[in-house]
Amino acid sequence: MITSQPLFTHTPVEAERGICSGGHPLAAQAGIEAIRQGGNAIDALTAAAFVSFVVEPASCGIGGYGHISVWLAASNRFVTIDTYCRAPLAAHAGMFEVEENAETYYGHPFTRGHQADFGALAPAVPGAIAGFCLAHESFGKLPLGKVLEPAIGIAEAGVTVNFADRLATAKRLADGAFLEATRAVLLPKGEGQGRAAGPDRIDTSQLARTLKAVAAKGPAAFYRGRIARAIGDYMRSIGGILSADDLAAYRPRVLLEQPARYRNVDYTSCFDQVAYEALNILEHFDLAGYGPDSFEYRHLVAEALGVAFTDSMRHYGDPNFVRAPVDGLASKDFAAVRRRLLRKTGAMARPMEAGDPWPFDASGPASEVVTDPRSLARREGTSQVAAADGEGNLASCCISVGSAWGSTVYVPEVGCFLNNAMQNFDPRPGLPNSIAPGKMPIFAAPAIVAARRGKPLFAGSGSGGYRIETGVLHSFLNMVDHKMRVQQAVNHPRVHCQGRETVVDRRIPETVRNRMARAGHQIQTVAEEPGGWPFGRVCAVAWDARRKVLSGGAGPNWNTGIAGL
């Protein structure tokens, strides 16, 4: 029997002056409006991200974080702004009890009572506003107030609650009881968990007030003064440790990353060692020769992802706080050693065992840490956004509050939900990813920007936990190796592996799935369906040098949007 398979996609969008792909149509439109007003890709990214903070409150927000990658065409320069959360100053390695015999998908144990997942101890110091304002100040063209106008206008009007938000509310309510302030926003009529819960609209007027303050005074309006004190006071009132001092001390991590090379393409991935290792491994295989629908392509990508995830989960730690072989993980020499374990016809034993990147940790030039990124460019010049402009600049970001509604902690005076990034630390002391004050936890999610021979090629990121890695890398590989246009590259079926089972899209032919099973993969077959994205949700943009057009891709298509000019 042959049956049709659903495909949730967008019609192709091409443009000349600018392209923006976002997790919500209003975000993409805000990005293009910034370009229409004379801005560039960084203005577009910032405008789209702040709109996303308003219209996708279950997924991202000013109480969350981001990972930003930029390619500046005029100087052929790659810049990373890692605006991830940092642990509060009162945090410490033994602050959580460990739940025995229960493992998160990060590979470490859950905390007792899920204290790192939701509630007063789950939020880390939010970095979103600091990072995007810094990117805009350093590389944008338009005034910050102009860039934030769309987000402020939408917040003043209030936000419609969509089906995915209702599902997220019901799921988080099942995890545990909401705090009173959270319940007032998400369950104003007392809806229970037996149905998709929540109001038709959320009052975001307080968020609009906060955004107006940021538009007028910059990030200092959030990290110091009234707003910071409001966050600290509220957290103290519910038994939390996040304080105004934590907000004042926050700084993004800014790097001039040495671009990696895949085939003849230079790229960076916002300090994501999983992406670097996986692509370094796959570069040695003739993926184009095998074809995008072959067993070999599916098998080798799954194996490379599994190896890279296993190695990072074992060895990664914030290099500003612990000795961690972050350069070794990204080393081509280390990848060459790991590549030799891959067989073209059989899967590695599960669970995979980590390799040793330490001998390769000094094998290449280190990234330059930048203390003042404004010196890099002149003034003129778990959602996601990707943007490109007619000057050739590229920008992409991954933005998140962690789980749906983050920690479920809502700060009424500020109008935002706080993240639950403390769940990304290993709650056990003495490990590379253990908790320490001011430390950033592990987060393997690429925000890629790529250029070929000094010309823009691709920018993309995604949402959906570690499936972001799968979605973005597949889209990149499908463009570079299989010569797909960007929307087709995003649409194409994927596989996912973190070192154990291999998750396979149902659209992949049964003959290929069966062959993978015979080769030793522990197959789990899933399908895309509204309200979820088991292989990540991807937004990407591309520059076609031959046709001289910008194009955008996004998918699955529920809620995502693409706009061009």
DSSP label of 533: -
Give pLDDT, residue 249: 98
Per the CB < 8 A criterion, the answer to whether 259 and 368 are in contact is no
Higher pLDDT residue, 201 or 106? 201
Give pLDDT, residue 374: 41
pLDDT > 70? residue 95 = yes
Mean pLDDT for the chain overall: 91
Identify the residue whose tokens are 């209003």: 26
Spans of all domains in the chain:
15-254+383-424, 268-369+463-564
Report pLDDT digits (tens) over 330-360.
999 999 999 999 999 999 999 999 999 999 9
Distances in Å between the alpha carbon of 411 and those of 84, 336, 400, 414, 480? 20, 49, 17, 6, 44
Report pLDDT digits (tens) over 411-429.
999 999 999 999 999 999 9
- pTM for the whole structure: 0.94
CA distance 241 to 201: 31
The count of other CB atoms within 10 Å of the CB of residue 104 is 16
Give the angle subtended at the CA of 87 by the CAs of 84 and 88, to the nearest 5°. Answer: 125
Q: Mean pLDDT highest for which of 11-25, 170-184, 187-201, 293-307?
A: 293-307
Give the active site residue among 83, 310, 382, 408.
382
Least confident segment among 51-65, 124-138, 178-192, 370-384: 370-384
Give pLDDT, residue 495: 97
CA distance 255 to 253: 7
CA distance 280 to 275: 8
Contacts of 345 (CB under 8 A, 6+ apart): 519
Would you list the DSSP string of 245-314? HHHHH---EEEEPPPEEETTEEEE-SS-HHHHHHHHHHTTS-HHHH-TTSHHHHHHHHHHHHHHHHHHHH
* CA 556 remoteness from chain centre: 16
Per the CB < 8 A criterion, the answer to whether 498 and 305 are in contact is yes
Residue 451's closest CA among 422, 424, 480, 475? Answer: 480
DSSP H/E element including 411: strand 409-411
DSSP H/E element including 169: helix 163-175
Give pLDDT, residue 170: 82
In this prediction, residues 212-236 reach a mean pLDDT of 98
Report pLDDT digits (tens) over 468-527.
999 999 999 999 999 999 999 999 999 999 999 999 999 999 999 999 999 999 999 998
* CA 163 remoteness from chain centre: 22
Give pLDDT, residue 190: 67
Report pLDDT digits (tens) over 426-436.
999 999 999 99
Q: Is 525 helix (H, G, I), strand (E, B) or coil?
A: strand
Per the CB < 8 A criterion, the answer to whether 123 and 235 are in contact is yes
Model confidence at 107, pLDDT cuts 50, 70, 90, reads confident
pLDDT > 70? residue 225 = yes
Distances in Å between the alpha carbon of 164 and those of 58, 323, 410, 500? 9, 40, 19, 29
Report pLDDT digits (tens) over 14-56.
999 999 999 999 999 999 999 999 999 999 999 999 999 999 9
Contacts of 289 (CB under 8 A, 6+ apart): none
Report pLDDT digits (tens) over 452-480.
999 999 999 999 888 999 999 999 999 99
pLDDT > 70? residue 533 = no
Give backbone dihedrals phi and psi of 203, rounded to 5 degrees, phi first. Answer: -75, 115
Task: Label residue 322 exposed, middle or buried (CB < 10 Å: 0-12, 13-18, 19+).
Answer: middle
Q: Is 521 helix (H, G, I), strand (E, B) or coil?
A: coil
Report pLDDT digits (tens) over 248-307.
999 999 998 889 999 999 999 999 999 999 999 999 999 999 999 999 999 999 999 999
Per the CB < 8 A criterion, the answer to whether 561 and 30 are in contact is no
Identify the residue whose tokens are 């927000």: 61
Give pLDDT, residue 131: 98
- CATH classification of 268-369+463-564, choosing from 1.10.530.10, 3.40.50.150, 1.10.246.130, 3.40.50.720? 1.10.246.130
CA distance 62 to 51: 10
Give pLDDT, residue 200: 82
Model confidence at 444, pLDDT cuts 50, 70, 90, reads confident
Give pLDDT, residue 100: 80
Extract the tokens encoding 312.
Answer: 């990072």
Active site residue 268: no
pLDDT > 50? residue 380 = no
Q: Which amino acid is at 27?
A: A
Give pLDDT, residue 379: 27
Give pLDDT, residue 232: 98
